[in-house]
Every structure is written in C-alpha cells, then in structure tokens.
Amino acid sequence: AQSVTQPDIHITVSEGASLELRCNYSYGATPYLFWYVQSPGQGLQLLLKYFSGDTLVQGIKGFEAEFKRSQSSFNLRKPSVHWSDAAEYFCAVGAQGYNKLIFGAGTRLAVHP
Amino acid sequence: NAGVTQTPKFQVLKTGQSMTLQCAQDMNHNSMYWYRQDPGMGLRLIYYSASEGTTDKGEVPNGYNVSRLNKREFSLRLESAAPSQTSVYFCASGGQVIAKNIQYFGAGTRLSVL
C-alpha cells in the first residue's frame, strides 16, 4: 500500500536560514510526487511536482525538491526562508493511471524574525 | 478564475443534525474529491468521483454520502452529524487520470459538531 511519512511535525527556522523538509514514501512503482503548502485558514496550493526525468524539480516561491529513488525520498528545500513561508507543508504521492493522492501528516513551519 | 468553490466556509451543528457541503469547480475537470483534515493526520480521502456519474469510497467514508450532481458539482452530506465529524473539509478537483493526479483545492469548510 502507498504511504507517505513526514518525520518532522514542527520545524522552526530563522528568517534567511536554509530549510529542508523531509518526505519519505512507500510505493512499488515509479511514483508521482507532490508538495503542497497550506497557509493559515486557506486551502492547499501546489508548490511543485515530480513525474519523471530530472530528479531536481523547481517550484514556485523559490522552492525545490529532489527525488531520490534509492532513499524513497522527496525532500523540499529552500536556500533562504522568508517570514511569509510560515505555513503547513504536505507531501503527497500518486500513482500512474490512478487518480488518487495519499498525503503525509504535514510539517508545520514557523519562521522567527 | 474561481477554481474550486466551497460553501459554506463555517458551520456549527448539533449532534444528529444533517447538512450538505457544496463544491463546484469551473476548470472542466473530470475528477472531484472530498477530504477531511484533522490535526496530525494530514488529509484523508472521504469519497471521490473519477467522472460524472461515478463515486467511490476513500479512506474514511463512514457517516458520509456524496452526490456528483453534474461535471461541475460534487456535494458531501452528513446525515446525522457526530462530534467525531468536527473537522475541516476540503474539496478538490483534477483532470483526467493521465493528467497525473494534479489536484486543485478549495478554501475549506470548517465544521464543528457540538
């Protein structure tokens, strides 16, 4: 069965510091991988996605993620965090030919000035 | 572009009351979804509709019913609300299966059952 694990429930970083949010997935075939962001009181917005090809994908708001098949990981990174990045981040996995997504429990990011 | 629109945004119910959450999308998507979001549990799929006229259970369907009214609209009904159904509910829509599962979300409905 597919599953997604986000090991960090809460992360706090200082503004300007780098950020890495971890995501591990379990799926037998080549997965489709996604990162969504949820600002307080809002719905989810797609940050980036991986389907195939280059394992380093770029998204909106200066985020990037790297797919590592050997580690079953799809970690999200940003070189310099802004206060407006404070939100909850969700990793999700989908399957080819299958129109459902499985979400991780989320990581809540706080940014200190 | 409205995208995915959910109504109402907030609702308070008493145990045993019924209500319907409405969702409409204007992106001509085939697939629509209902999720619930609870602290520490991420989003869990309640029901989904792969195309007009079809619906299927997700991970947590008990206590809910859905109707795919047409291609645009997908409603979620609580027949007899329970406190365990206090949650934030999100509707989402997505393209064809071959569109690789990208889903677009509404702003959510915050439901409290007393």
pLDDT along chain B (114 residues), means of 10: 89 97 94 92 91 91 95 96 97 72 89 97
A49:B102 CB<8 A: yes
User: Nearest-CA residue of chain A relative to B51?
Assistant: A99
How many interchain CB pairs under 8 A, A with B? 63
pLDDT of residue B98: 47
A100:B48 CB<8 A: yes
pLDDT of residue A61: 93
pLDDT of residue B1: 60
pLDDT of residue B22: 97
pLDDT of residue A51: 87
Task: Find chain A residues with C-beta within 8 A of B40's C-beta.
Answer: 9, 105-106
User: Nearest-CA residue of chain B relative to A52?
Assistant: B100
Task: Find chain A residues with C-beta within 8 A of B55's C-beta.
Answer: none
CA dihedral B42, B45, B51, B55 (to 10 degrees): -170
DSSP assignment, residue B60? -
pLDDT of residue A106: 95
pLDDT in tens, A55-111: 999 999 999 999 999 999 999 999 999 999 999 999 999 866 667 888 999 999 999
- Buried/exposed A44-75: b ≥16 CB within 10 Å, e otherwise: bebbbbbbeeeeebebeeebbbbbeeeeebbb
Q: How confident is the model at residue A41 (pLDDT cuts 50, 70, 90)?
A: confident
Tokens of B9: 């945004």
- Chain B residues with CB under 8 Å of a chain A CB are 4, 31, 33, 35, 40-45, 48, 50, 58, 90, 92, 94, 97-98, 100-108
User: Nearest-CA residue of chain A relative to B4?
Assistant: A43
- Min Cα distance B80 → chain A (Å) is 26
Reported as half-sphere exposure (CB side, CA atoms, 13 A), residue B99 has a value of: 13
A105:B102 CB<8 A: no
